[in-house]
Chain A
Amino acid sequence: ETGVTQTPRHLVMGMTNKKSLKCEQHLGHNAMYWYKQSAKKPLELMFVYSLEERVENNSVPSRFSPECPNSSHLFLHLHTLQPEDSALYLCASSQDGTSGRASYFGPGTRLTVL
């Protein structure tokens, strides 16, 4: 497989559930990102990992917990979510995490919280 893959593509969960989103990149990049895309809103950067260290946390509630075990994999652990957390969650990667490098996005996980 090439590019950035995400699983699952669709997820429906209750507010008391715990679930995880998975992202894998096959591009040899060493920076990875989580974004949230809600209807009628801009893409919002949630977390940035560069060389497996978290370098950015954009005031995201603690019910979202990222994990980056190596430069190819990124997880987003979800627990006690709210209905307003329903959105498309996009993973991206780039080389070096420096400013001039384009980010390449995965297809996203469409999350619905009931």
Chain B
Amino acid sequence: GQNIDQPTEMTATEGAIVQINCTYQTSGFNGLFWYQQHAGEAPTFLSYNVLDGLEEKGRFSSFLSRSKGYSYLLLKELQMKDSASYLCAVNTGTASKLTFGTGTRLQVTL
């Protein structure tokens, strides 16, 4: 079976740094995606990792360790608009067959 785990909720302060972890156990692996979803809106693509290491994109970075089945999303200089759910998804097939975690709801406070 497929299993992807993320914390359910996190709270952080505006201007701070927050790390959202994701661990996975899947029957196949062809890359890991992070999506952001604001309440009532569609998920939007943030990052993609297929090789081990860190991918940096502005205030957001994502890390992957395939041997540990582990990824994290790092958000720097938090802003109020970063309050959203962050979804970890693993591509388990040759097509874009994504298996999602339940998502981490991040609340940014003043």
Contact = CB atoms under 8 A, between A and B. Distances in A.
Bin the interface of chain B by size: 20 to 34
Interface in A35-52: 40-45, 48, 50
Contacts of A50: 95
A103 B96 contact: yes
A101 B96 contact: yes
Nearest to B87: A43
Contacts of B65: none
B97 A48 contact: yes
B33 A43 contact: no
Given A43-B100, A105-B43, A106-B42, A31 B48 contact: no
B72 to A, nearest CB: 18
A103 B100 contact: no
A40 B95 contact: no
Contacts, number: 67
Interface in A68-114: 90, 94, 97-108
A109 B100 CA distance: 19
A34 interface: no
A45 B97 contact: yes
A111 B30 CA distance: 32
A13 B62 CA distance: 41
Interface string B80-107: 0000000101010111111111110000
Contacts of B43: 43, 90, 105
Contacts of A43: 43, 87, 89, 98, 100
Nearest to B6: A42
A48 B91 CA distance: 13
B59 to A, nearest CB: 18
Interface of A: 4, 31, 33, 40-45, 48, 50, 55-56, 90, 94, 97-108
Interface of B: 4, 30-31, 33, 35, 41-45, 48, 50, 87, 89, 91, 93-103
The 8 A-B pairs with the shortest beta carbon distances in the complex, nearest first, are: A99-B30, A105-B42, A43-B100, A102-B45, A42-B100, A97-B95, A99-B91, A94-B96
